[in-house]
Amino acid sequence: MTRTSLFTPGALIALSGLLCCDAFASEEAGHHQFPHHHVAIFAGAGLERDGDHEEEGSALGLKYEVKWSQKWGIGVYAERLFGSGHNRSWAAGIPVSFYASESWRFFSGPGFESSTEKDKFLMRFGIAYEISLNEHWSASPEILVDFIEGGAKTYVIGIAVGYGF
């Protein structure tokens, strides 16, 4: 499957989900104390393991999430991946988040990584601790684990700085 054919259905599904969730969130307007939308920049460093091969790398990305309730949200992310001599260049996905408290967020969802060799399916799991800097701004240390098609795993520790509205 080419990048274009993989990305187009994924983008349409993500957009549909976000618009649907935004409709639910709009119905609750006036009955909430949380921003429904959140945009963030993510920077992290990590390790990829593929059999006996290990490689260190870094990631820089953008995230967007819409919350449809105090406890649940859905989002999209796109990350540029950097590593020494590795062919992995982009990752994108659609995580669903569960807010266990005002600060703790657990998330998981499908995605894909795109490289010069082949696009691969991935499943991401993560945990974040959101620190409110003021009414709109936040900082979130995050730990991510990607299970990549073919058996590779990527472990990333990073921070997201975001704006809620």
For every residue of the chain, DSSP letters joined together read --HHHHHHHHHHHHHHHHHHHHHHHHHTTTS-SS-SEEEEEEEEEEEEEETTEEEEEEEEEEEEEEESSSSEEEEEEEEEEEESS--EEEEEE--EEEESSSSEEEEEEEEEEEESS--EEEEEEEEEE-EE-SSSEEEEEEEEEEEETTS-EEEEEEEEEEEE-
Considering the four listed CATH numbers 3.30.70.100, 2.40.160.20, 3.40.50.1820, 3.40.1710.10, the one that applies to the domain covering 3-164 is 2.40.160.20
* Confidence (pLDDT) at 87: 56
Q: How confident is the model over 89-142, as pLDDT tens digits? A: 899 999 999 999 999 999 999 999 998 888 999 999 999 999 999 999 999 999
* Confidence (pLDDT) at 116: 80
Give yes or no for residue 32 having a pLDDT over 70: no
* Confidence (pLDDT) at 117: 80
